[in-house]
Amino acid sequence: MTRGTILRRTIATPLILSALLVAIAVLAFAVGSRPFNQTVIDLFLMVIFVVGLQVFVGNSGVISFGHIAFACLGGYVAAWTTIKPVLKSAAMPGLPDWLMGLEIPFWAAAIAGALWAALWAGLFGAILMRLSGIAASIATFAMLAMVNAIYSNWTSVTAATSSVVGIPILRTTWPYLAAAVIAIFIAWAYAISRHGLALRAARDEPTAAAASGVNIPRARFIAFVLSGAVMGMGGALYAHSIGLVTPDTYYLGLTFTTLSMLVVGGMGSLSGAVLGVVILSALIQGLRWLEAGVQIGNSTFALPGGVQEIGLGVVMILILMFRPAGIMGNSELSLPRRRRGGAENPGQTGPNT
């Protein structure tokens, strides 16, 4: 099979997913309510995070608990480069002079965040990608805790655990939509590249892949750096969506939310990653709405705080029990094919010959 055929057969997936996101953005624009707008922004950010996570976890099969650390790196890059110098010198006096005077637009900060995160993903990845299975997962957890410990204590540069405020807030959905679409196309392009194919082969049959000449640590390393970059971009934009950063914004809570979205959708599938975000965001929003209280007749009915997270956890356990491969499994959303209709795995590129 040539590259052209793979491209033509799979291009429908990112296009459908992007169209879905555009439809959501247009809906938010048409409704015009500010809380709904914010919800949609959150959804796009989660798409970036979960797609970034999927690039590594989905293709390599190694669960990573540490990717939110890269979002943290990206988020602080946004704080370092976009806050007004006056505010910056008060909150983070330890920054070098050239960084102190810098004030760049958000998109440049997102790119800088991606590059900074990719750099650290490269450094960590060079070490961690030698491990596999559970040892690798726990080492990524150690990486998350390490980054959190550093950013929570390095007072002069990160203001320790107190929040760094003054990051310019972006309230329109379009930049987030653009970034989410870019993330989807990056993930797709990686998945059909030779590195992506090699890594998936190593995920399914490590011995056979190694015997066919796949350098597994190297293949994992490439995916790790790429997904780190996507997470860094997401982290920087996340900082712009709420206007502040703290180390604990990017810690266990976000790790759990993004992992559950990925697992619910289906780790092995890009469509699963996006659908998982959409479905769980709707669920979370519904539960939040109930927590805030609903008027039924004369009485207000409200669930106690914490129900949202409990609900999320329970849904995740149930999905793992009954559909361990997630909603999408390993398949992708795709247009029905004209010839040879009803292939059992639409979107799969089939055996390479």
Binding site for other proteins (CB under 8 A): 61, 63, 127-128, 130-135, 137-139, 141-143, 145-146, 149-150, 153-154, 207, 252, 256, 259-260, 263, 304-307, 309-310, 312-314, 316-317, 320-321, 324
If the CB atoms of residues 7 and 142 are measured against other proteins, the closer one turns out to be: 142
Give me the amino acid identity at 301.
Answer: F
Q: Which of 46, 44, 39 is nearest to 258 (CA)?
A: 46
Min dist CB 134 to other proteins, Å, is 6
Min dist CB 76 to other proteins, Å, is 15
If the CB atoms of residues 61 and 75 are measured against other proteins, the closer one turns out to be: 61
If the CB atoms of residues 44 and 221 are measured against other proteins, the closer one turns out to be: 221
Min dist CB 278 to other proteins, Å, is 19
Min dist CB 42 to other proteins, Å, is 19
Q: Which of 7, 48, 42, 11 is nearest to 181 (CA)?
A: 48
Helix (H, G, I), strand (E, B) or coil at 245: strand
Q: Rounded to an integer, what is the distance from CA 60 to the centroid of its chain?
A: 16
Distance CA 82, CA 76 (A): 10
If the CB atoms of residues 39 and 137 are measured against other proteins, the closer one turns out to be: 137
Min dist CB 115 to other proteins, Å, is 23
If the CB atoms of residues 181 and 287 are measured against other proteins, the closer one turns out to be: 287
Min dist CB 1 to other proteins, Å, is 29
Beta bridge partners of 301: 294
Query: CA angle, corner 265, sides to 144 and 126, nearest 5?
Result: 35
Distance CA 16, CA 282 (A): 19
Min dist CB 124 to other proteins, Å, is 8
Helix (H, G, I), strand (E, B) or coil at 52: helix
Kind of pairing, strands 299-301 and 294-296? Answer: antiparallel
Class of residue 180 by CB neighbours under 10 A (exposed 0-12, middle 13-18, buried 19+): buried
Residue 301, H or E segment: strand 299-301
